[in-house]
Structure formats: structure tokens, C-alpha cells
A and B are shown apart, each in its own frame.
Chain A
Amino acid sequence: MGALALVLPLLAFVTLSFVVPLATLLSKSAYQPEVSEVFPETMHVLARWNGEGLPPEAAFAAMAGELAKALDERALPRASGAINRVQGGMRGVLNLTARRLARTDFAGTWRETLAGISGDWLQPRTWLAIREAGAPFTLRHYLQALDLERKEDGSIGFRPEDSRVYTPLMWRTLLVSLGVTLLCLLIGYPIACMIANSPPKRSRLLLLLVLVPFWTSLLVRTTAWIVLLQRQGVINGLLVGLGILPDDARLQMIYNMTGTFVAMTHVLLPFMVLPLYSVMRSIPPSHMPAAVSLGASPLKAFRRVYLPQTLPGIGAGSLLVFILAIGYYITPALVGGRTGELISSQIAYHVQTSLNWGLAAALSSILLVAVTVLYLIYSRVVGIERMRLG
């Protein structure tokens, strides 16, 4: 019980400052009360409407009253954005109607009054859109995030190939993460091996060389890659200066996938080297020479004796790098350009620019599920207690 009392403060703190916000975010993916909050009366009337033809006069009256109120209370953008996402053009209709209402004479019925401002009010699809956007619980965002759509006959299927946005991006994110993990392994393995098998003094020094980039600000490292990779940058300058490349054929290594790949590999490499090193350090240095002296070739000795013993390190490093890569944002955003963007950029875009928070939340949930699965594998395979930092 003493132990629990010690853990409790942090547990409560992390729950309040982290877990609850995360849960709130996830709830936004399926729960969006904005429209029904701004137009409660209208939604009430529409709930009893059978969806055929036009809704009753009461709906028009409620809409007129609530539009004026929404404009007054500056709540209109919130609702009109959500409706506009169900049916393009509705933001304009709602804005126009709300603005004009105050200056329009009452035409006998609210239906006539609204129709006088915009013909769209006599279109059944306008009301269907409002009703759909007003449903507080929806799976629409998940459908959109997975590039699914409801077909005419009500069934759910993939969008046409050329209008899919998010699934290709998710595949790209997976492939890039996988590629970066492999690259890190290829570069990191020999490095870790050398550090682990050097005499203690030199080993410490080499480890420091890995830790310097690890401790250096992410933005500094990303800036450095811009400096190195750009068209007039250091690498291109070197290649042209040495006569390897003609001046007009400089390589394009930035603002595309190459930029994302190189910079992400650099940033994540220490996360591969450190777990590998900590496993390799515990392998007795006498194993390899022993195998060789028994007649195995160095390659065979490595494959049969050394490699199997480092598998836990490979697993730990790879999973860690992969988990970090899959949610990467800063580096791709700065050096990736359009073609080097990952799913996290779309999440940021929908939160900050399109304000389609439901979709951003749905994309986040999908990403979070992927990371959670990986985390569970990690803690199974490695055990979280064995995670080492430097």
C-alpha cells in the first residue's frame, strides 16, 4: 500500500494531463454535438421529419430563429463548417441567410422568407444534409479516414482509386517507417558492434559520439540536413566540385521522399544503436574467436554465434524506431515536401487549417491503435523496464 501511495501522484497527474485529453480527442472522432448545439430546435423538428420532400414549416421557423441567434452569438462558423462538410456550399447558404434575415421582410411563412433569400432552402438535400450533420454520434469520420464511402444503395465500399487520400498515406507512412527502421539497423548494427567490442576507454568515447546527435535538438539536426541536402548545399557542392556531377544535374535530395528518409534515419539512429549496444555488451567477447578457432569462417561464426545472441537488441531497437517513426511530424514537415509527408501531417492539417477536428481525431485514433499494438509487442518482447536511455 505504501508503494501505491508513491505511484499515485504521478498516476493521477498523467491521467489528468494526458490520458483524459487523449480520451477527449478520441471521442471527437465519433461524437460531434456542434450542429445540434447551435440548432437544437431545428434538429428536434427534423428528427420527426420522414425525410421525404420538404420538412414542415416548423423547421423553417426554427432554422430562421436559430440562424439569427447563432450569428449573434458567433456560433455560426462552428455549425456551418460541419454542415458544409456533409454538403459543399452550405456554409455560403447559411452565412447568406443569417446575414440577410435581419434585413428581409417576413413573407407570410418562414418557408417563403428563407426561399426568398436562397433557393437552396427548397431543396430537400439541404435539409437532409443538416439532419445528417446534426446527428451527434457518427462514424462518418472513420469512413472518410479509411477512404470508405456509403454508396447509393446504402452499402459501404472504398472510394474510387483516384479519390483516395488517407489509405495511400497510411501505406506510405508504414513503408517509410519500415524503410527507416531497416536503414537504422543496417547503419546502427556495425556501429553498436564496434562500440561493444572496443576497449572500455574507446568504447565510452564512441558511445559519446552516438550520444551527441541524440542530445542535439531535433530542429538543429533537421536544419543541418537542409544545409547538406539542398540543391546548392554541401553534398551537391562537393559532388560538383569533385567533377562527379555536372553543375546542371545537381541531385534533388530535399523536399521529397529522400529528404524524409535521410533526416528521419539520422534522427532515429541512436534509438537503434543504444538498445543494440546494451545487448551486445553482455555477449562475452570470447564467443566469436572461439567459433573461428573451431574452424568456422568469420561470416559463419557471425551468423551462427553472434547474430542470434543480438536478436533481442535488434527486436528492441527496431520496434522502438518503428514506433517513433510512424508518428513523426516535424522532420517530414520541414524536409519532406509534398511527396515526403506522412499521416501526421494530415492530422495537423485537419486540426489547424481545415478545422475538420472529427476527421483529425479519427486519423489519430487509427494511428494510436497501430502504436498501441506495437507497444504491446515491445513490452512482450523486450519488457518496458529494460528500456535504456544513454
Chain B
Amino acid sequence: MRSAPSAGKSLGSEGIPPSTKAAAPSFLGRRLGRYGFNALCVAGFVFLLAPILVIVPLSFNAEPYFTFTEGMLRLDPDAWSLRWYNAVLNDEAWGRALVNSLLIGVASTILATALGTLAALGLASPSMPGRSLVTAVLISPMITPIVIVAVGVFFFYSGLGLGQTHAGLILAHAALGAPFVVITVTATLAGFDRTVLRAAASLGAGPMRRFFRIQLPIISPGVFSGGLFAFAASFDEVVVVLFLGGLEQRTIPRQMWAGIREQISPAILALAVFLIAFAVLALLTVEWLRTRSASAPRSAG
């Protein structure tokens, strides 16, 4: 990738000039096209990352507003402070929200991962009847607009006495998270040669032994990253919580929603920085798992 300044110079010539349509493109034309393309890419990456990078310095704002103050721009130490980090760390509400988020996230992830892994194993088996229909049903929570999920779950669960309970949210989030597990585990199973299983069976390994000694080691990165996706989905979910949860079920995103809509405070920027850190950590974990998965023993072809 070109460095930003050189790409910036060629901003005026985005894309490839139409004059290069002639049979033998000039060296200059090709060069300009290359710059234009790189500039587009840099602009795209800036668009993707700038919002996240802007949050970080703003969270050290000494003033209670969402804008860079003059003092901050002058790098006046008084204009920068850890005030909002203190506010987040000392506010019981955020602590309770974190406990709720972890509780609901972990419980729904366990449920989603256990059920999702089993289902993916079943779906991968050649003897699975009605595969595409079943897959469609299992994936449907991921595709359905979240507002509709939330409304449906709100009406139905409230009728069962699950409204404003942790259990209701755990069930709903598990349903939302399971598709991720099904997809990731299915993906790891895609390159899996089933003849290995038959070979193991012919050597006398029972179904449990075959599962734990052969299948699980291979799919475990998929299971783990699927679980991580399910957890992240729950950890970031706010619409269902808005409809179904109450005061006792306030999660981090729900509290942030309140922060943006009801009681505006830059404390949410400080919190946002924590969440970005969480995201990077989760991402690196998945990345690490992927490299493990790539080097994991699997059959050739």
C-alpha cells in the first residue's frame, strides 16, 4: 500500500483515466490509475477506522461534551483528564451493567455453543434429511430484522412470565447466537474428510471416542470462534434488551443507549474505549485461532 501522502497527491485522478482505453496504455496512465486506486482504498480505510480512532482522544476530554475543546487542541494538560474513566469505574450502574452483560453473555453463549455445535455436526453428516430447510430455520434468527425479533420475543416471553427476567434474555440471545456457531463450525467441518471417521470406526473406535479424539480437535477452533461470535453478538445486543429487559437486566449496550438518548455524558466515550479494547482482544483471539486451525491436522484434499 502507498503511504498516505503520496496517495493524497493523486486524489484528483481517482479511477483510471478513460484515455488509457487505447490499446497500449502509457506508463503514466497506468501509474495514475494505480495511484487513484490506492487513494480510493486509503479513503475507504480512513472511513472505516476514523470514527474509532476519534473516540479515543475525546474520551480524555475534561469538559462534559462530545467535542474537542480548544485546550485539547493546544495540548493543554488541564483540558485532558481521566474524569470520565473515573466516572465509569466509580459508577455502580456501569458495574451492574457489566455483571448483567457478562451473565447474559456467558449463559447464552454456553447454550448457543453446545446446541449449535451439535447441530453443525448433524448438518455436516451426509445422512441429514431436509438439510437446506433445517439450515434456513436455524439461521433465521440472524437474518430476521432485530426489531421484529425483539417485538416477537417481547410479546411471547411476557406472556410466559419471562418478561424483565435474565432467563428471557438468555434464551433470546442464545437463539440469536446459535447461527454463528452453526456457521463457523460448519465452515471448519467443510475441509474435514469423513473417511477418517470411517477408518477410525473400522479400527474399533466407538462413536464417543471418534468424536472426542478426531472431530472435536479439528472443529474446536470453529467452536471457540463461533462461541466468541455468539458472545459478542449478545454483548453488543441492545434492541431485545430494550424491549424485554427491565431495570434489573440493564446491560452495557443498554446503559450506553440510555447514555446517548437519555442522560448524555462523555462517560460513554470512556466506556467505548474499553469496548474497543475488548473488540481488538476478541479479534486477535479469533485470528490466533484461525492460524491454529490452519495448522491443525486435517486430511489432505
Co-assembled chains A and B: yes
Chain A: residues with CB nearer than 8 A to chain B?
1-11, 13-15, 17-22, 24-25, 28, 187-188, 190-191, 193-194, 198, 202, 204, 206, 208-213, 215-228, 230, 232-234, 237, 266, 269-270, 292, 295, 297-300, 323, 326-330, 334, 344, 347-348, 351-352, 357, 360-361, 364, 367-368, 371, 375, 379, 384-385, 387-390
* A4/B128 contact (C-beta < 8 A), A209-B49, A213-B52, A351-B154 known: yes
Q: Choose one: B1, B256, B269, B279; the contact of A194 (CB below 8 Å).
A: B1
Q: Choose one: B33, B116, B171, B272; the contact of A223 (CB below 8 Å).
A: B272
CB distance A266 to B127 under 8 Å?
no
Chain B residue numbers with a CB within 8 Å of A228 are 50-51, 54
> Looking across the interface, which residue of chain A has its beta carbon closest to that of B135?
A384
* A10/B119 contact (C-beta < 8 A), A212-B280, A220-B55 known: yes
CA–CA, A206 to B38, complex, Å? 13
Interface-lining segment among B74-82, B92-100, B138-146, B198-206: B138-146
CB distance B143 to A371 under 8 Å?
yes
Among B43, B125, B152, B287, chain A packs the most CB atoms within 10 A around the CB of B152
CA–CA, A266 to B47, complex, Å? 7
Chain B residue numbers with a CB within 8 Å of A21 are 152-153, 155-157
B275 close to A (CB within 8 Å): yes
* A224/B122 contact (C-beta < 8 A), A21-B155, A190-B40, A334-B260 known: no
CB distance B125 to A6 under 8 Å?
yes
**How many B residues touch the partner, as a band?**
35 or more
* A7/B48 contact (C-beta < 8 A), A295-B23, A329-B239 known: no
B232 close to A (CB within 8 Å): yes
B253 close to A (CB within 8 Å): yes
Q: Choose one: B152, B232, B239; the contact of A215 (CB below 8 Å).
A: B232
> Looking across the interface, which residue of chain A has its beta carbon closest to that of B284?
A208
CA–CA, A187 to B41, complex, Å? 8
B129 close to A (CB within 8 Å): yes
CA–CA, A21 to B129, complex, Å? 26
> Looking across the interface, which residue of chain B has its beta carbon closest to that of A387?
B183
CA–CA, A327 to B145, complex, Å? 5
CA–CA, A237 to B227, complex, Å? 42
For chains A and B in complex, what number of residue pairs have CB atoms within 8 angstroms? 292
Chain B residue numbers with a CB within 8 Å of A211 are 283
Chain B residue numbers with a CB within 8 Å of A226 are 66, 260
CB distance from A67 to the nearest CB of B (A): 25
CA–CA, A25 to B175, complex, Å? 17
CB distance A227 to B55 under 8 Å?
yes
* A352/B243 contact (C-beta < 8 A), A3-B125, A9-B115, A375-B143 known: yes
* A357/B175 contact (C-beta < 8 A), A10-B138, A215-B282, A224-B54 known: no
CB distance B145 to A18 under 8 Å?
no
CB distance A25 to B152 under 8 Å?
yes
* A219/B174 contact (C-beta < 8 A), A190-B41, A266-B51 known: no
Q: Choose one: A22, A351, A384; the contact of B136 (CB below 8 Å).
A: A384
CB distance B136 to A14 under 8 Å?
no
Interface residues in B12-47 (C-beta closer than 8 Å to A): 16, 18, 20-25, 30, 33, 37-38, 40-41, 43-45, 47
Interface residues as binary, B277-297 with A (CB distance below 8 Å gives 1, 0 otherwise):
001101100110000000000
* A10/B115 contact (C-beta < 8 A), A190-B37, A389-B180 known: yes
CA–CA, A18 to B47, complex, Å? 36
Q: Choose one: B54, B151, B190; the contact of A360 (CB below 8 Å).
A: B151
CB distance A300 to B66 under 8 Å?
no
Chain A residue numbers with a CB within 8 Å of B238 are 218-219, 330
B172 close to A (CB within 8 Å): yes
Chain B: residues with CB nearer than 8 A to chain A?
1, 16, 18, 20-25, 30, 33, 37-38, 40-41, 43-45, 47-52, 54-55, 58, 66-68, 111, 115-116, 118-119, 121-123, 125, 127-129, 132, 134-141, 143-149, 151-157, 159, 171-172, 174-175, 178, 180, 182-184, 186-187, 190, 207, 225, 229, 232, 235-236, 238-239, 243, 253, 256-257, 260-261, 268-269, 272, 275-276, 279-280, 282-283, 286-287
CB distance A371 to B145 under 8 Å?
yes
* A17/B175 contact (C-beta < 8 A), A221-B51, A351-B154 known: yes
> Looking across the interface, which residue of chain A has its beta carbon closest to that of B122?
A6
CB distance B272 to A217 under 8 Å?
yes
Chain A residue numbers with a CB within 8 Å of B18 are 299
* A368/B260 contact (C-beta < 8 A), A3-B123, A220-B276 known: no
CB distance B148 to A299 under 8 Å?
no
The 10 closest A-B pairs by CB, nearest first: A327-B145, A6-B122, A224-B51, A21-B156, A3-B125, A7-B122, A25-B152, A10-B119, A215-B279, A10-B115
CA–CA, A234 to B57, complex, Å? 12
CA–CA, A384 to B121, complex, Å? 16
Chain B residue numbers with a CB within 8 Å of A217 are 235-236, 253, 256, 272, 275-276, 279
